[in-house]
Amino acid sequence: MAADMVFRNATVIDGSGGARLAADVAVTDGRVSAVGEAPLATREIDASGLILSPGFVDTHSHDDAAFIRYPGMEFKLAQGVTSEISGNCGFSAAPHDPGQPPRPDDIAGRSADWRTLSEYFAACMKRRPAINNAMLIGHNKLRYMASGMEKRAATADEIARMRGWLGQAMEEGAVGFSTGLIYEPGRYSDTGEVVALANEAGRAGGLYATHMRNEGERLLEAVDEAIHIARESGSKLHISHHKSAGKKNWGGVRASLAKVDAANASGMDITLDVYPYTAGSGPMNQYVNLDHIDVEWAKHVLIATCPDFREFEGMTIPEIASRCEWEIEEAVRQVITGPRGKETICIHFIIDEADIETNLRHPRMMIGSDGIPELNGQPHPRLFGTMPRVLGHYVRERGVLSLEEAVRRMTSMACERFGLAGRGLVKEGYRADLVLFDEQTIIDRATYKEPKQEPAGIRMVVVNGEVAMEDGRHTGAGAGRMLRYGKDD
Ligand code: ZN
Ligand code: CU
């Protein structure tokens, strides 16, 4: 029987971390059907000189609403991303209460009409998404549903309700529970509340993914809290976008990784992810205390999205201040206190370049873009560039890790960790999520000034056996699926 598609003379990096091998790879009915010698196929693809690997997994995304709003998911697909984990940093589109007034920055978006994870998945599938999606359930969302923006620890009754929603979502296929403990309202929780919820996810096999309470001066305390939560709740721990933020704290990731190593050596199960950039990004009002505006910090802030002042998008706070003849403090105040000020997204340069390499060298480190899919404005370039930047800059140009190892972290390791069954290897019987790329030319092209540029060096991306992108052209195949924990969906 002829295969649907065969890659001839490919150099296969299969995602296991093992050495590359020369092989033909066949795809039939959405799965890899042969590796080595392959039969004739309806479509023959000359892969000589190119690497064929499993599709990449973005372990840290915020694309919950993007699956509804931008189902073509071009910014991820063009990077070779075929699956991703949404619902990070405590913000998830499901569960959802359509009857509740949405918070201005609700990741579900204003038109969300679903309640459960299953209903959200169904809404996504109706849009025929280009790539696969798996979901964490966010603490900030559960808390908003239980007690709005209350600035206090949750009551026993509220915790019980949050557990109920989370437990149902886990049954419907969520891969775990996420927190964003610097954000509202999650920051008002005490550790016990988080332990209770992490336990609910852990009982179903899911993991606890955390944007920790502090990523700067008190990073080590925050790591201790995360480890304590994992130990008490019995859940696996995943530390999101690991960093030591703020110039005076640079280098701090070494001590933090040492804590992770010690905990793992004592029998715990901790992994992490990182994005390959020295700037972070997020909702600006959440980083600012209006009574004490940090001028030093503000000098290194770039505005990504600002509905009240579109003309500021792509400008730094000092540029805005000088154009408008404002003090730095006044510029900060203006952009976050207008009618839609809470929707302002900023990019802030807070990370040490050397820390990125330290992170990437760590064997339990995966890659998560943390991209914010707001295409109006000037998003952080990580939205478009993360995976090729790791492979082109950190692997090829800097030699920080081998290509085989980088691919393993982006594929089989991520699939295993987040329970994406039947994916992450170029192996007979596995789902045909594949990337064909040139290891000599793959590179990100998105920059802070021109962030919406697709990367170079990626020839083809296949999702569930269908060609989704080829030579820079998005085919609109729409073959993505919603992935449930541990199920070969
Ligand atoms: Zn985060
Ligand atoms: Cu995030």
Checking if the pLDDT of 192 tops 80, the result is: yes
State residue 104's pLDDT score. Answer: 75
Q: Name residues with Cβ closer than 5 Å to ligand 2, which is an ion.
A: 88-89, 370
Q: Name residues with Cβ closer than 5 Å to ligand 1, which is an ion.
A: 89, 211
Tally of domains within the chain: 1
Say which ligand is closest to the CA of 372.
2
Residue 272 lies in a domain: no
Residue 447 lies in a domain: yes
Question: pLDDT-based confidence at 1, cuts 50/70/90?
Answer: confident
State residue 103's pLDDT score. Answer: 82
Tell me if 280 sits within 8 A of 245, measured CB to CB: yes
Residue 191 lies in a domain: no
d(CA 372, ligand 1 centre) in Å? 10
Say which ligand is closest to the CA of 58.
2
The CATH number of the domain where 458 resides is what?
Answer: 2.30.40.10
Question: pLDDT-based confidence at 185, cuts 50/70/90?
Answer: very high
Give the residue numbers spanning the domain of 451: 3-54+425-474
State residue 94's pLDDT score. Answer: 98
Alpha-carbon torsion angle 403, 397, 378, 367, nearest 10? 30
Residue 29 lies in a domain: yes
Residue 187 lies in a domain: no
Question: pLDDT-based confidence at 214, cuts 50/70/90?
Answer: very high
- pLDDT tens digits for 465-485? 999 999 999 999 999 999 999
State residue 111's pLDDT score. Answer: 86
d(CA 324, ligand 2 centre) in Å? 32
Write the secondary structure of the chain as one string of H (helix), E (strand) and C (coil). Answer: CCEEEEEEEEEECCCCCCCCEEEEEEEECCEEEEEECCCCEEEEEECCCCEEEECEEECCCCCCCHHHHCCCCHHHHCCCEEEEEECCCCCCCCCCCCCCCCCCCCCCCCCCCCCCHHHHHHHHHHCCCCCEEEEEEEHHHHHHHHHCCCCCCCCHHHHHHHHHHHHHHHHCCCCEEEEECCCCCHHHCCHHHHHHHHHHHHHCCCEEEEECCCCCCCHHHHHHHHHHHHHHHCCEEEECCCCCCCHHHCCCHHHHHHHHHHHHHCCCCEEEEECCCCEEEEEHHHHCCCCCCCHHHHCCEEEEECCCCHHHCCCEHHHHHHHHCCCHHHHHHHHHHCCCHHHCEEEEECCCHHHHHHHHHCCCEEECCCCCCCCCCCCCCHHHHHHHHHHHHHHHHCCCCCHHHHHHHHCHHHHHHCCCCCCCCCCCCCECCEEEECCCCCECCCCCCCCCCCCECEEEEEECCEEEEECCEECCCCCCCECCCCCCC
Residue 467 lies in a domain: yes
d(CA 269, ligand 2 centre) in Å? 21
Say which ligand is closest to the CA of 180.
1
Residue 130 lies in a domain: no
Question: pLDDT-based confidence at 106, cuts 50/70/90?
Answer: confident
State residue 230's pLDDT score. Answer: 98
Residue 19 lies in a domain: yes
- pLDDT tens digits for 317-375? 999 999 999 999 999 999 999 999 999 999 999 999 999 999 999 999 999 999 999 99
> Computed from CA positions of residues 330, 336, 337, 341, in that sequence, does the dihedral angle turn out positive or negative?
positive
Q: Average the pLDDT over 274-294 and give the result.
A: 96
